[in-house]
Amino acid sequence: MIETLQRIVQEVNAADSLAQALDIIVQRVKQSLSVDVCSVYLVTPGQQELVLMATEGLRPESKYKVRLKFSEGLVGLVAERAETINLEHAQDHPRFKYIPETGESAYHAFLGIPIIHHRELLGVLVAQQCDARRFDDDHSAFLFTLAAQLASAISHAEVTGEIHSLRGKHHRDVFIKGVSGSNGIAFGTAFVIYSDADIDTVPDREPENIDDEIQRFEKAIDAAQSELLDLKKRLGATLPSEEVMLFDAFMMLLGSDALLDRTIEHIREGNWAPGALRMSIRESTHVFEEMEDAYIRERADDIRDLGNRVLMHLQQTGNGGMRAIPDSAVLIGHKITVTELAEIPPGKLAAVVSESGSSSSHVAILARAMGVPAVMGATDLPVGRLDGSEVLVDGYTGRVYIQPSAQVKSEFQRLASEEAELSEELKSMAFKEAITPDGVHVPVYVNGGLMADVDASENSGSEGIGLYRTEFPFMVRERFPGEEEQYQIYRKILMAVAPRPVTLRTLDVGGDKALSYFPVNEENPFLGWRGIRITLDHPEIFLTQLRAMLRASVGLNNLKILLPMITSTSEVEESLELVQRAWYELLDEDVNAIIPDVGVMVEVPSAVYMIEEIARRVDFISVGTNDLIQYLLAVDRNNARVAGMYHAMHPAVLRALIHVIDGTHRVGKQVSICGEMAGDPAAVILLLGMGIDSLSVSLAGIPRVKWVIHSFSRDHARGLLEQSLKLEDPEAIRALLNASLVEAGLGGLVRAGKH
Ligand code: PEP
Ligand code: MG
């Protein structure tokens, strides 16, 4: 049963349109459960009404005609209650409604299951049987599981279908919802990133010249065939002949009509060779995947493998791999990595849209640092179909509009100019001193990780770099940078910012930050080997970095070192010993370095409760709220499904921060916030109330944070903090603070609050 379920879901996922997806569902369910009728009704958006969209068993002409209010009939009752209804004699139920068009009077047994996606009712899946009997547990469990799995496929197909119909002149403005990753509005051309080695992720694209594209495809097939022939010859010497025959089968598949002719047909229909290949490979794999025999089904993997092989050759010929990046590129992908983002020239990058991830993913953080709007966790994004489309990205609300109408464009134009006006107003703030109305200086530093950030930070109005994520230069290389290479990077930064301070964080890889040349494959990477755990286990990596940092500061003395992911005092002590060791080593080599201030990041609940013991051992504390929130609330910072539960204003987060700030102050040290929360205007009010000493925020956040500092005295902020602490709901706390921003004349910042 599980296999049948999986196959249906896979087929639905591959459907080109909603109508096709629904037809597949009703056909397969009727067949697999041997029921007399299977139908799908979908909810009309904005109305409490269901429309019969697909059926096997009821009269085909009733499709699209039968419309039911939620208050009507048994199907309406399933929708109204959002619960399963299983009846032996449907006609005897008080809610039974006879609908003549369907011819359903003949059916007695009724099983209706709601289809729900992200708490929203999408439709109702119905099975009916002539006999008067209750559907048994197996039937209802099967349909129940299927409905749950189909929900996202249906919603995905709905969007895909809409996109297809966009070719017509009139369309409603479809948007795909994700979460805000970085504020701002951008309009540009979709530039889809796909995995080089995965045929399933290849997007559709119009070919420049159909004949050239066909030739390119034929050449790739020839190359793949001769490669297989070579392999066959090489293995023929060692393998039994039956095994070697497998290669003949592969070569035949490569030369088969199903693959050759179908791909060429798809190219002629207007898709480029890799996209056309993806389509025909998918068609061939479907045939195999439908087989009951497990051995034959596995052949689908062989075909996909062959597809990847041909794809690789296609990428080596023509301009398959290298594409021109459009001028206003909206970078779109299933999972965009920090490196992919960094590779787009900043002048060309208009926005980022990622199917996975959330506002605290590193890609979102980087986008904010670059001042580029980003939408994360857009799970219903039909990635493969978007390349080259016009898209409008609303980074405030996390919405992506595909081929937006002139009306939507002009509405967003208006918002964009309002935003530009606000930034003009804000620009003047950036260079004012960060002093509260009652005269408290709360320095604002900038977060960085790329040299571009450092250059930009010079004119940002910041008082230095509060967090430099050293892993970024490690991520864009193909091997660990050596001491000299690191020295050059750090020296440049320290020189550019001197005499202002620069806080360099030691390598924090693991979690969602992977180094291609140092793979850490774990089931649960955020609770695994990351940050300080890796560097303490690899003192040679740690010492190289520490030596490079200390050397870079010689004569400038503006370096501070920050240790990530600390969970216990022993990690602090071991790290401090290594800093001492690096310093002694340099001393021996006659390098006149000094021991810099060393600080600890509080990112883990255990560090919150050990704050005094930790703070006593170091020079300063910096709270990494991005991780702290994830670990306190048990909400993966990259998981779009739970992004709505990631609340910086959760009372537990606020209490933890108060504990850290008070504890650090008790032992006479200073504490700053360097997570994204520090750039959220509403949160800044609370942090001021808590007595924070400094803030480190992304470049774009500096003016608005300074505006808040200028507008709220410590007493005013303390009062609002006290009121907030009486509330239990994070949304209510945000509403209270937003109202106070508006009251203080900072209403323009309210939209910027969510990131
Ligand atoms: C944090 O966790 O808040 C932080 C600043 O570190 P990163 O986002 O790099 O994990
Ligand atoms: Mg962190």
Q: Which range is least confidently modeled, 118-122, 172-176, 547-551?
A: 172-176
Q: Is the pLDDT at 241 greater than 70, yes or no? A: no
Q: Residues within 5 Å of ion ligand 2 by Cβ?
A: 603, 624, 627
233 versus 645: the higher-pLDDT residue is 645
The ligand with the least distance to the CA atom of 566 is 2
Q: How far apart (Å, rounded) are the C-alpha atoms in residues 90 and 112?
A: 11
Q: Whose CA is nearest to atom 1 of ligand 1?
A: 624
| Confidence band, pLDDT 50/70/90 cuts, at residue 6 | confident
Q: How far apart (Å, rounded) are the C-alpha atoms in residues 429 and 435?
A: 11
What's residue 592's pLDDT? Answer: 94
The ligand with the least distance to the CA atom of 677 is 1
625 Cβ inside 6 Å of ligand 1: yes
**Mean local confidence (pLDDT), 721-748:** 95
- Residue 436 CA, ligand 2 centroid: distance in Å: 28
* Residues belonging to the active site: 362, 674
Pocket test for ligand 1, best of 674, 677, 680, 755 (most atoms within 8 A of CB): 674
Percent of the chain at pLDDT exceeding 90: 52
Q: Whose CA is nearest to atom 9 of ligand 1?
A: 469
The ligand with the least distance to the CA atom of 512 is 1
What's residue 489's pLDDT? Answer: 93
What's residue 242's pLDDT? Answer: 63
Q: Is the pLDDT at 387 greater than 80, yes or no? A: yes
| Confidence band, pLDDT 50/70/90 cuts, at residue 316 | confident
Q: Is the pLDDT at 453 greater than 50, yes or no? A: yes
| CA 198 to each of CA 158, 207, 272, 300, 667: distance values in angstroms, whole numbers, following the listed order | 25, 20, 16, 14, 54
603 Cβ inside 6 Å of ligand 1: yes
What's residue 755's pLDDT? Answer: 42
Q: Whose CA is nearest to atom 6 of ligand 1?
A: 624
What's residue 346's pLDDT? Answer: 73
Q: Is the pLDDT at 144 greater than 60, yes or no? A: yes
| Confidence band, pLDDT 50/70/90 cuts, at residue 693 | very high
Q: Is the pLDDT at 442 greater than 90, yes or no? A: yes
Which of 690, 612, 683 shows the shortest CA–CA distance to 655? Answer: 690
| Confidence band, pLDDT 50/70/90 cuts, at residue 172 | low
Percent of the chain at pLDDT exceeding 70: 91
- Region for 493 from its dihedrals, namely left if φ exceeds 0, alpha if ψ lies in -120 to 50, beta otherwise: alpha
35 versus 460: the higher-pLDDT residue is 35
Q: Is the pLDDT at 754 greater than 50, yes or no? A: no
682 versus 160: the higher-pLDDT residue is 682
Q: pLDDT tens across 601-629, in order?
A: 999 999 999 999 999 999 999 999 999 99
**Terminal alpha carbon distance of the chain:** 43
**Mean local confidence (pLDDT), 353-361:** 87
What's residue 450's pLDDT? Answer: 66
Q: Is the pLDDT at 406 greater than 90, yes or no? A: no
Q: Whose CA is nearest to atom 8 of ligand 1?
A: 626
Q: Is the pLDDT at 145 greater than 50, yes or no? A: yes
Q: Please state the pTM of the whole predicted model.
A: 0.75
673 Cβ inside 6 Å of ligand 1: no
Pocket test for ligand 1, best of 453, 470, 626 (most atoms within 8 A of CB): 626
Most confident of 386-400, 501-515, 552-566: 552-566
**Mean local confidence (pLDDT), 208-231:** 88
Q: Is the pLDDT at 166 greater than 70, yes or no? A: no
What's residue 168's pLDDT? Answer: 40
For the chain, give the mean pLDDT.
Answer: 87
236 versus 262: the higher-pLDDT residue is 262
Counting other chains too, the contacts that 35-38 makes at CB distance below 8 Å and 24 or more residues apart are 35/127, 35/128, 35/129, 35/139, 36/107, 36/128, 36/129, 36/130, 37/104, 37/107, 37/126, 37/127, 37/128, 37/129, 38/125, 38/126, 38/127, 38/128
The ligand with the least distance to the CA atom of 626 is 1
Q: How far apart (Å, rounded) are the C-alpha atoms in residues 621 and 671?
A: 5
- Residue 603 CA, ligand 1 centroid: distance in Å: 8
- Residue 426 CA, ligand 1 centroid: distance in Å: 26
Q: Is the pLDDT at 414 greater than 70, yes or no? A: yes
Half-sphere exposure in the Cβ direction for 384 (13 Å, CA): 22
| Confidence band, pLDDT 50/70/90 cuts, at residue 146 | confident
- Tell me the β-bridge partners of 544: none
Q: Is the pLDDT at 312 greater than 90, yes or no? A: no
Return the ligand 1 atom nearest residue 469 CA.
9
362 versus 554: the higher-pLDDT residue is 554
**Mean local confidence (pLDDT), 45-58:** 89
Q: How far apart (Å, rounded) are the C-alpha atoms in residues 748 and 129?
A: 59
Q: Which range is least confidently modeled, 149-163, 479-493, 541-555?
A: 149-163
Which of 306, 188, 204, 197 shows the shortest CA–CA distance to 246? Answer: 306
355 versus 571: the higher-pLDDT residue is 571
| Confidence band, pLDDT 50/70/90 cuts, at residue 259 | confident
Q: Which range is least confidently modeled, 26-40, 549-563, 650-664?
A: 26-40
What's residue 165's pLDDT? Answer: 54
Q: Whose CA is nearest to atom 3 of ligand 1?
A: 624
